Amino acid sequence: MDLIHSLISATVTFASGHRLLAYGLAFLLAAAEAFPVVGAVVPGTAVIVGLGTLVSGGALAMWPLIGFTAAGALAGDGVSYLFGRHYKQRAMGMWPLRTRPGLLAAGEAFFARHGSKAVLISRFLPGVRAALPMVAGMSGMSAVRFYVVDICAAALFALAHIWFGMVIGASLTVLHAIAGRLVVLLLILAAALALVVWLTPLAIRRAVGLLARLRGPVRQWAEAGDGWARRLVSSALDPERPETLGLLALGAMLIGGLWLFFGVLQDVIAGDPLVRADAAIFHFLQSLRTSAVDQVMVAITELGDAAVVIPVLVVTLVWLAGQRAWRAAFYGLAAVAGASLFAFLMKITLRQTRPDSIFAGWNSYSFPSGHATASTALYGFLVVLICREVGARARVLVTLAAVLLVGAIAFSRLYLGAHWLSDVMAGLAFGVAWVALLGIVYFQHARREVHAPGLGAAGLAVLLVAGGLHIGTKHAVDMRRYALNLPVREMSLTDWRNGGWASLPERRVDLTGDYEEPFVLQWAGSLAPLKAALLEHGWLVPVPWDLSSSAEWLLPNAKADALPVLPHLDNGRSEALVMIKTGGDVPRGQRVILRVWPSGTVLTNAGNAQPLWIGTVVTEKVEHLKPFVSLVDERNDVNGALQTLRAALPGIELENHATAKPEWNGEVLLGRSKILN
């Protein structure tokens, strides 16, 4: 898959520099997608959309590109149609069609279902469009009907794909002009949203199918003996009870929620890598913050405040009381009150501090997230009540809506720096387990309907009203409360030189919380003198990441200085400076890479304060996988790269950590700009 993506990028890069050939390429790719087997493997659609992005930048003209794409689609469909019309059923025995009999079968079924419209529809369906024109010819469809429909299909295909590419190109241009970090954040959110929307219905369908298959064997086990556990399982799996699958699903959620909660709790108490990942993800998200997204995230987090949760709960209880569903009302109250009480007790017991001191008193403790816990309990139990009385499709929609709402509230706590990742994970896990437990007990005794559609509508209405009022009255105050305020550590220059340097992190921490390569450089003050000194001694600024440099990875003999440097994060922070060294004392086919990050510490001297930077240096060897691609392999030897860096910084101070390992002798270089001398 990565190779296909790289091939597409390289093709688009080539097209941006060869306008006439680009139009011919659009023609050939649009035509190739109409041929059986070949059309199923050619990434024509992706490349055509990529060519459309070049229109926004002026590299290609819109109407010629649309014309060549439409002509290619028409030509490919026409050739495929004539082939099927001439050879008819004999075509199925020819190569390569005989290797993919299912392709033509799918095309025939699609054509039989939709008739002439299939020619138009199939142009926008990968796989089917590679067989449908031939099937139309084999079925005896008249040439006039085929070409009338196909001309429309080819024109719409070209317009849709080129215009879609133009929109993507224009959007990326605007977003890049606003802020690169906004692009990254939006891509992350879009990917997460798409994943949730795709996974939630899929997980529900798979779980229902699995539970349906397991119901028989588990019931046989329960009826094969005696004991309270077997009797409980046998009662829950009674085939005359319609909620059997729901009970099994809740049981799985209970086990999974408890397993995740206690796993997170153990990591937090033991200080495992999850705790380091907490800090890394915190810094990463804070580095992506922008004022526009802050407005949205503060509004979302306000939906999880007590001023919104309590009205939704009260209206839910009133509705249930009106239906005389007293047991459901009791369990609903227990869900939110019990979850909130548990979160409070855990906070005052563990006393884990928040990432930022934006709260006071017991609320300054973070584990677990009260927003995540209470929201999961409230909306999770509403899902249990509603799903008991609605159809399969409505269950998926209701569950998906609740997952998106609770997930958005949980993510807003991370984005705003109000909680660590472990806080949110624990809150979600306990909320799910608590709701599942109450749901199982409720299902065992529930006898009265709650009129789920009305309950859902009432809950949604009060969420919108209470949420709107709360956001309208508290948004300005909360924007000041959640304003970006990264903690900064101060240290005097004297203390730093007299051993304070050793208190800084010894190794880089990635987003998963794992320790990586050691920090061998600490630099105080502006990075400009450091960069100038390295440039003077033959170091280079690496080539930036773009379509052209990305295509270099496809060359089997790429040079070390022509490949862009893979980005690394330290504690969630991105690099402030990256330099490379090739040639000279660096062996051929290798490069030394220096990466520098902010340390979160400032040094003070005579009233002047300057940032302190920390850096790593590694050696990468370019591996040529001929005739395909080039890769880089990071060498497990810091000492050699450190000596190369030291040679470019004459007069720099050298210190040693007490502990050293074979790949690193413990040496650390201390440097500073003249302003701190």
Residues 41 and 174 in one domain: yes
Candidate ranges 8-22, 252-266, 364-378; pick with highest mean pLDDT: 364-378
Instruction: State pTM to two decimals.
Output: 0.55
| Mean pLDDT in residue range 623-628 | 66
In angstroms, the CA 232 to CA 75 distance is 67
Residue 15: pLDDT band (50, 70, 90) is low
Mention every residue, 6+ apart, whose C-beta is less than 8 A from residue 243.
388, 443, 446
Q: Which residue has the higher pLDDT, 594 or 400?
A: 594
Structure tokens at 365: 């403790």
- Tracing tokens 């990875």 back to the chain, one arrives at 553
Give the pLDDT mean for 152-156: 85
The DSSP letter of residue 126 is T
- Say what the pLDDT of residue 177 is: 42
pLDDT of residue 31: 81
Q: Please give the residue that has the higher pLDDT: either 80 or 36.
A: 80
pLDDT tens profile 81-92: 887 777 766 655
Residue 230 is assigned to a structural domain of this protein: no
Among 358, 162, 286, smallest CA distance to 573 is for 286
Residue 274 located in a structural domain: yes
Q: How far apart are CA 596 and CA 602, in angstroms?
A: 15
End-to-end CA distance of the chain: 53
* Beta-bridge partner residues of 590: 621
- The three-class DSSP label of residue 205 is helix
Among the listed ranges 1-5, 120-124, 451-455, 632-636, which one has the minimum average pLDDT value?
1-5
> Quick one: pLDDT at residue 239?
55
- The number of residues making up the chain comes to 677
Structural contact between residues 307 and 463, judged by C-beta atoms closer than 8 angstroms: no
454 and 540 fall within a common domain: no
- Please state, in angstroms and rounded to a whole number, the distance separating the CA atoms of residues 582 and 644: 10
Q: What is the pLDDT of residues 547-578, one digit of tens each?
A: 667 777 767 677 888 888 888 888 777 888 99
| Same domain membership, residue 589 and residue 546 | yes
Instruction: Please choose, from the candidates 358, 343, 483, the residue with its C-alpha nearest in 3D space to the C-alpha of residue 424.
Output: 343
Q: Has residue 232 got a pLDDT over 50?
A: yes
**Same domain, yes or no, for 338 and 458?**
yes
| H or E element, residue 478 | helix 452-481
> What's the confidence (pLDDT) of residue 7?
45
Residue 322 has pLDDT above 80, yes or no: yes
Question: Does residue 153 sit in the same domain as residue 89?
Answer: yes
Q: Is the pLDDT of residue 405 over 50?
A: yes
> What is the identity of the amino acid at 35?
F
Range of lowest pLDDT (189-203, 431-445, 548-562)? 189-203
C-alpha angle 430/357/294, rounded to 5°? 80
Closest CA to 151 of 125, 133, 128, 127: 133
Q: Is 615 left (phi over 0), alpha (psi -120 to 50) or beta?
A: beta
Among 107-111, 128-132, 397-401, where is mean pLDDT lowest?
A: 107-111
Asked if residue 96 has a cis previous peptide bond (ω within 30° of 0), the answer is yes
Averaged over 123-145, what is the pLDDT?
Answer: 73
Reported in sequence order, the residue ranges of 496-557 that DSSP labels E, i.e. its strands, are 507-509, 515-518, 521-524
Backbone angles phi and psi of 25, in degrees to 5 = -65, -40
CB 580 within 8 A of CB 565: yes
Higher pLDDT, 255 or 111: 255
Q: How many CB atoms lie within 10 A of CB 637?
A: 13
Q: Are residues 541 and 429 in the same domain?
A: no
- CA distances to 82, 297, 422, 462, 512 from 272, rounded to whole Å, are 66, 29, 11, 42, 11
Q: Flag whether 185 is in a domain.
A: no
Domain match, 449 and 560 both = no
Whole-angstrom Cα distance, residue 303 to residue 566?
39
Same domain assignment for residues 496 and 348:
no
pLDDT > 50? residue 6: no
Q: Is cis: bond before 368, omega within 30 of 0?
A: yes
Residue 225, domain member (yes or no): no
Query: Which residues make Cβ contacts (< 8 Å) with residue 639, sequence separation at least 6?
Result: 663, 664, 665, 667
> How many Å is the Cα radius of gyration of the chain?
31
CA dihedral 385, 389, 391, 395 (to 10 degrees): 0
Compute the distance between CA of residue 230 and CA of residue 224 in angstroms, rounded to an integer: 8
Instruction: Name the most confidently modeled range: 21-25, 56-60, 312-316, 656-660.
Output: 312-316
| pLDDT mean over 531-558 | 80
C-alpha distances in angstroms, 207 versus 154, 199, 211, 358, 473? Answer: 41, 12, 6, 41, 42
Q: Which two tokens stand for residue 398?
A: 């209701």
Q: Is residue 76 within 8 Å of 70, Cβ to Cβ?
A: no
Rounded to an integer, what distance in angstroms lies between the CA atom of residue 572 and that of residue 539?
26
Contact 398, 380 (CB under 8 A): no
**Pairwise pLDDT comparison (356 vs 483), residue with the higher score:** 483
Residue 216 lies in a domain: no
Per-residue pLDDT averaged across 501-517, rounded? 82
Last residue within a domain, chosen from 431, 459, 481: 481
Q: How many CA atoms lie within 13 A of 115 on its CB side?
A: 1
pLDDT for the residue 168: 62
* Residue 619 φ then ψ, to 5°: -110, 130
Which of 379, 434, 414, 396 lies closest to 300, judged by CA? 414
Same domain? For 131 and 11 the reply is yes
pLDDT band at 58 (very low <50, low <70, confident <90, very high): low
> What was the pLDDT predicted at 437?
87
Rounded Cα–Cα distance for residues 384 and 388 (Å): 6
Residue 203 domain-assigned (yes or no):
no
More confident residue, 59 or 576: 576
Q: Is residue 317 part of a domain?
A: yes
Residue 621 corresponds to which tokens in the numbers above?
A: 């060897």
Look at residue 652 and tell me whether its pLDDT is greater than 60: yes
Structure-model confidence comparison of residues 341 and 353, the more confident one: 341
What DSSP letter does each residue of 619-631 carry, written as one string? EEEEEEETTTEEE
* Inside any domain, residue 279: yes
SS3 514: coil
563 with 637, same domain? yes
Chain segment 573-597, per-residue pLDDT in tens: 788 899 999 888 888 888 999 999 8
Taking all residues of the chain, what is their mean pLDDT, rounded to a whole number? 77
Quote the domain boundaries for residue 354. Answer: 243-481
Q: Indicate whether 396 and 288 sit together in one domain.
A: yes
Count how many domains the chain has. 3
Which residues on adjacent β-strands are paired with residue 620?
A: 591, 634
Last-in-domain residue among 428, 446, 481: 481
CB of 312 closer than 8 Å to CB of 326 = no
Q: Which of 88, 69, 104, 85 is nearest to 144 (CA)?
A: 85
Question: Is a pLDDT exceeding 50 seen at residue 501?
Answer: yes
Out of 425, 451, 481, a domain closes at 481
Instruction: Count CA atoms closer than 13 A to 676's CA, side-chain side.
Output: 24
Supply the pLDDT for residue 179.
41
pLDDT at 202: 60
Q: Is 466 exposed, middle or buried (0-12, 13-18, 19+ CB in 10 A)?
A: buried
How would you label 163-191 residue by residue, b for 16+ Cβ within 10 Å and e otherwise? eebbeebeeeeeeeeeeeebbebeeeeee
432 and 506 belong to one structural domain: no
Longest dimension (CA), the chain: 91
What whole-number percentage of the chain has pLDDT above 90?
11
Token pair 């948004």 is found at 475
pLDDT band at 341 (very low <50, low <70, confident <90, very high): very high
Q: Is the pLDDT of residue 219 over 50?
A: yes
Report the distance separating Cα 161 and Cα 184, nearest Å. 24
pLDDT band at 235 (very low <50, low <70, confident <90, very high): low
Q: How confident is the model at residue 309 (pLDDT cuts 50, 70, 90)?
A: very high
